[in-house]
């Protein structure tokens, strides 16, 4: 009997989206502040 | 000692360039993690959160450590640029803290069956985050630059003292959180492809920290050069 890999890809997608939103969002915030 | 506007703008430009390179690196890490790294059999795809969660934690602890170190150096040397760097590093550390404290529960739910548990690692990480939220609030509350720098340096040093406890908490207390796979006395214990992705991600997030903190430091330099008391 092999190990059944759990189906939890949606959690991975959520985490990756959060990381992208935070790092790109902060980078844009710095860029906007640099233009002021 | 007082930076010129040209110095500040050069620092900002350098920081934004490094940030752009690091963001491209984050994209590369995501491609590596999704398509070039095997799926862990027991945890499934949720384990791939690790490749962003752990490097973010590293970058956050680096940021908070450097906030405390430069704060201590400020108390010794009284160079206002050290205080400006502390401020920049604390803000960037909070950004990585947000990532750690959101991706952690998202990873924990499918693996542990709960979003949050009050064990030592998680609780100390949350305390460290709140401590630096307080650090930023303190900075905003004080108008005298010398007083602000002195008080916030002390808080930054207290945060620095908490960092080793965060790292060692998985050894010191019973915890659900996995033990370190890189920063430990013995050799890394991972599949080589997983290790390659993790090391790449640690490098990219370190570069992202450098890009963020350089830009943010440049903004503070510019504020000082313009002679503005507070706010960017």
- Chain B residues with beta carbon closer than 8 angstroms to that of A14: 106
Name, in order, each residue with C-beta under 8 angstroms of B228's C-beta and a sequence gap of 6 or more.
Answer: none
pLDDT at residue B231, rounded to an integer: 47
Residues B163-177 pLDDT 10s: 999 988 888 877 777
Average pLDDT for chain B: 92
CA distance A12 to A34: 33
The closest of B28, B32, B36, B89 to B61, measured between CA atoms, is B89
Complex ipTM: 0.93
- Residue in chain B lying closest to A24 (CA): B23
CA distance B191 to chain A (A): 17
Tokens for B90, please give them. 């604390």
Best of B45, B87, B92, B225 to disrupt the A interface (most A CBs within 10 Å) is: B45
Tokens for B155, please give them. 């808080």
Name, in order, each residue with C-beta under 8 angstroms of A23's C-beta and a sequence gap of 6 or more.
Answer: B23, B26, B95, B99, B208
Residues B37-57 pLDDT 10s: 999 988 999 999 999 999 999
pLDDT at residue B2, rounded to an integer: 67
pLDDT at residue B228, rounded to an integer: 56
Residue A20: pLDDT above 50? yes
Q: Residue B189, CB half-sphere, CA atoms under 13 Å: how many?
A: 7
The closest of B105, B112, B100, B121 to B57, measured between CA atoms, is B100
Tell me if A11 and B232 make a contact (CB, 8 A cut-off). no
pLDDT at residue B118, rounded to an integer: 92
Q: B111 and B44 in contact (C-beta within 8 Å)?
A: no
DSSP secondary structure, A1-36, as one string: -PPPPP--HHHHHHHHHHHHHHHHHHHHHHHHHHH-
The answer to whether residue A14 neighbours chain B at the CB level (below 8 Å) is yes
pLDDT band at A31 (very low <50, low <70, confident <90, very high): very high
* Digitized pLDDT (tens) for each residue of chain B, 232 residues in all: 667 899 999 999 999 999 999 999 999 999 999 999 999 988 999 999 999 999 999 999 999 999 999 999 999 999 999 999 999 999 999 999 999 999 999 999 999 999 999 989 999 999 999 999 999 999 999 999 999 999 999 999 999 999 999 988 888 877 777 777 666 667 767 889 999 999 999 999 999 999 999 999 999 999 999 885 444 4
């Amino acid at each position: 009997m092999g190990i059944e890999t759990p189906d939890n890809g949606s959690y991975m997608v959520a985490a990756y989206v959060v990381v992208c939103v935070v790092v790109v969002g902060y980078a844009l915030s710095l860029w906007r502040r640099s233009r002021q | 000692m007082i930076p010129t506007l040209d110095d500040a703008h050069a620092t900002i430009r350098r920081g934004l360039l490094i940030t752009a390179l690091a963001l491209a690196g984050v994209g590369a890490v995501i491609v590596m993690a999704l398509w070039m790294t095997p799926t862990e059999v027991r945890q499934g795809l949720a384990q791939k959160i690790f490749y962003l969660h752990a490097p973010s934690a590293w970058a956050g602890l680096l940021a908070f450590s450097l906030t405390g170190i430069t704060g201590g150096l400020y108390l010794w040397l009284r160079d206002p640029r050290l205080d400006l760097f502390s401020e920049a590093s604390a803000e960037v550390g909070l950004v990585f803290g947000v990532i750690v404290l959101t991706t952690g529960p998202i990873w924990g739910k499918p693996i542990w069956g709960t979003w949050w548990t009050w064990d030592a690692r998680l609780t100390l990480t949350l305390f460290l985050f709140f401590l630096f939220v307080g650090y930023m609030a303190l900075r905003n509350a004080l108008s005298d630059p010398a007083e602000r720098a002195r008080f916030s340096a002390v808080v930054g040093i207290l945060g620095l003292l908490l960092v080793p406890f965060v790292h060692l908490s998985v050894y010191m207390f019973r915890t659900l959180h996995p033990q370190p796979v890189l920063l430990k006395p013995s050799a890394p214990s991972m599949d080589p492809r997983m290790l390659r992705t993790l090391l790449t991600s640690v490098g990219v997030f370190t570069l992202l920290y450098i890009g963020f903190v350089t830009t943010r430091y440049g903004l503070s330099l510019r504020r000082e050069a313009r002679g503005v008391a507070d706010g960017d």
